Structure 1
């Protein structure tokens, strides 16, 4: 059986009549007279409206300066993209923001990381950056709020503070020349994470598909091996220079829930720790220093507290809202998360057709099987927050 070779189909878009008619007597196309490059994104077509790929010429105009994600050659004034992303301009500076990239640490960033290794006088932490970050022993608070130099005895007890697999929220203290970062947890707002759910979102600064897994725990309470299906790739990620830690007064009797948005794309949703309980258990007056001592004494505990069912349901609802935003390529920040959360509550009332009284909300009656935020619910939530 013979093989028939068909002539390549030539699209009309982008070609003139002279180029389409550039054929010889035998019907072959003159390849020398056809464009061999994709149309360039020049000043007339507008910057930031399309997506460029590595090797594509962004512009040939010499008035523009190249920024991140671009390069030029000595023999030409063309600015060429080095990553796949969107073109943005700042005055006369052109840069390409990648659709997906590893997190690049900056001083002052609030990050959520996972301990991967215990070394001499430091811990190695995964913060979704190209290199592992380090958390020195001298950059953490000792139990009881003691301020002193770290000794060899403290080095031998490092595993009493953090071990492999622990989740920690910290701040970037410094960035080295090779791109690695040094963290610190010298604040009551930082330390080991428990009583919640961990998420990793995709996008610029994110890593991996969006999924939820629990923190390492010794009890079978909330946050014990909770998993969710991965989401589609997104171009969103967590917005930098916005509020990244706040408390939500959850509906349906969920109580106070704390949300931590790490700039590196790692998110932590947990029950808000009640620091006043330990202080109220003592009969003697509690000073500010004493409150710090009581708070730091339990900051390295790996034991999850007992979390009510209503609180766990609202934690799952917030995680589902973030997953809906990620699947729709919406940037994650406080405003978008809270808008999606409020919209999910309204969608539940619309689809159920009735409001729950306090007794039903306390017992969870009539809400089984309605916590999944996907399909029609996800579309409705996106319409309400658009």
Structure 2
């Protein structure tokens, strides 16, 4: 269920309160002291200055402070509770990585035996030459000739999908692309959203019935692209390096281009209203837009976007 927290009474007469809430979203106070209610409600948005719970029963975490024996939010974000610790995860914040996370990034620099990658975090991530898939088999030893040809694999500006492997001593992410489902991205469009709005799913590789593939990076970078058949991704031994590391996009027909555009507009509509993304929500939103919109350009109208949000959130 997606619900928005009510504001304190001192904000009720301001214009900020009117613009903060969408008419379609049901406002519902959630008693944070009730653990079962807290878990059932899911992500709950709050604003600075709002009282969350009693400081006598709970400990304050990041994004909160104590005043008059109450835990109060200091940033706008979602309330998170771990046992007796209450914190607020800010909506506008950099990505905080964890090992195993799927991320989408952009190459910013080619260095000896490594690439620097912008992954929407506090500092650039690192992709080592030993952590990529190279011609001749994934387990083969990397040679000096491979180091000389690094720009043939990834160069500045290239987009890629990778997995967080570990962390260096300075906190920088170490990435790897040892599976063929990871690597360079082509035939699509990048959409940047707040990382907090990308939910952790069983799989972050999604395929919509319209022939569009989605990669939901937990760092807030989402890749929307032409569908690639599974048999084109298999066969790691002796794979076609020219195809995997090519910078040339395939031919994309007009219907696929329209579908990619429609999906990117839907993502922007949902995230502009701070609605967390999931596979089922995106599929429902796409089907609704096809049924009620004759053209992709309809999604550019605010009224159409408001109606879409009302429809998909009314049953949440």
User: 2:266 corresponds to which residue?
Assistant: 321
1:310 to 255, 262, 272: 255
TM-score by length of 1: 0.64
1:381 positional shift: 1.5
Residue 61 in structure 1 maps to residue 55 in structure 2: yes
Residue 331 in structure 1 maps to residue 291 in structure 2: no
Q: Do the aligned partners of 2:138 and 2:237 also contact (CA within 8 Å) in 1?
A: no
Q: Do the aligned partners of 1:105 and 1:179 also contact (CA within 8 Å) in 2?
A: no
User: 1:375 corresponds to which residue?
Assistant: 302
Q: Say which SS state the counterpart of residue 138 (structure 1) adopts.
A: strand
Counterpart-to-counterpart distance in 2, 1:239 and 1:318: 17
TM-score by length of 2: 0.77
User: 2:47 corresponds to which residue?
Assistant: 51
| Cα distance change, pair 123–52 in 1 and its aligned pair in 2 (3 A) | same
Residue 261 in structure 1 maps to residue 221 in structure 2: no
| Higher RCO (CA-CA < 8 Å; seq separation 6+) | 2
Query: Would you say how many aligned residue pairs link Structure 1 and Structure 2?
Result: 278
1:69 positional shift: 3.0
Q: Do the aligned partners of 1:347 and 1:380 also contact (CA within 8 Å) in 2?
A: no
1:249 to 190, 209, 212: 209
Residue 98 in structure 1 maps to residue 90 in structure 2: yes
| Cα distance change, pair 272–145 in 1 and its aligned pair in 2 (3 A) | farther
User: 1:346 corresponds to which residue?
Assistant: 291
User: 1:384 corresponds to which residue?
Assistant: 311
1:276 positional shift: 4.6
Structure with more strand by fraction: 2
| Cα distance change, pair 125–308 in 1 and its aligned pair in 2 (3 A) | same
Root mean square deviation, CA, Å: 3.2
**Which residues of structure 1 form unaligned runs of 5+?**
1-12, 15-40, 205-236, 251-255, 279-287, 353-366
Q: Do the aligned partners of 1:321 and 1:373 also contact (CA within 8 Å) in 2?
A: no
1:259 positional shift: 0.6
Q: Do the aligned partners of 1:87 and 1:94 also contact (CA within 8 Å) in 2?
A: yes
Q: Say which SS state the counterpart of residue 188 (structure 1) adopts.
A: coil
Residue 160 in structure 1 maps to residue 155 in structure 2: no
| Cα distance change, pair 143–72 in 1 and its aligned pair in 2 (3 A) | farther
Counterpart-to-counterpart distance in 2, 1:272 and 1:77: 54
| Structure with greater Cα Rg | 1
User: 2:19 corresponds to which residue?
Assistant: none
| Cα distance change, pair 372–147 in 1 and its aligned pair in 2 (3 A) | same
1:72 positional shift: 7.5
| CA distances 1:176-208 after superposition (whole Å, capped 9, x unpaired) | 45432100001010000001111101353xxxx
Q: Say which SS state the counterpart of residue 244 (structure 2) adopts.
A: coil
| Cα distance change, pair 312–144 in 1 and its aligned pair in 2 (3 A) | farther
Q: Say which SS state the counterpart of residue 378 (structure 1) adopts.
A: helix
Counterpart-to-counterpart distance in 1, 2:103 and 2:60: 30
| CA distances 1:320-351 after superposition (whole Å, capped 9, x unpaired) | 11111112211112111111100101112xxx
Structure with more helix by fraction: 2
Q: Do the aligned partners of 1:243 and 1:333 also contact (CA within 8 Å) in 2?
A: no
| Cα distance change, pair 86–162 in 1 and its aligned pair in 2 (3 A) | closer
1:372 positional shift: 3.9
| Cα distance change, pair 155–277 in 1 and its aligned pair in 2 (3 A) | closer
Counterpart-to-counterpart distance in 1, 2:193 and 2:63: 22
Counterpart-to-counterpart distance in 2, 1:162 and 1:49: 39
Q: How does 1:93-242 map to 2 (within 5 A)?
A: 93-202=85-194, 204=196, 237-242=197-202
User: 2:246 corresponds to which residue?
Assistant: 301
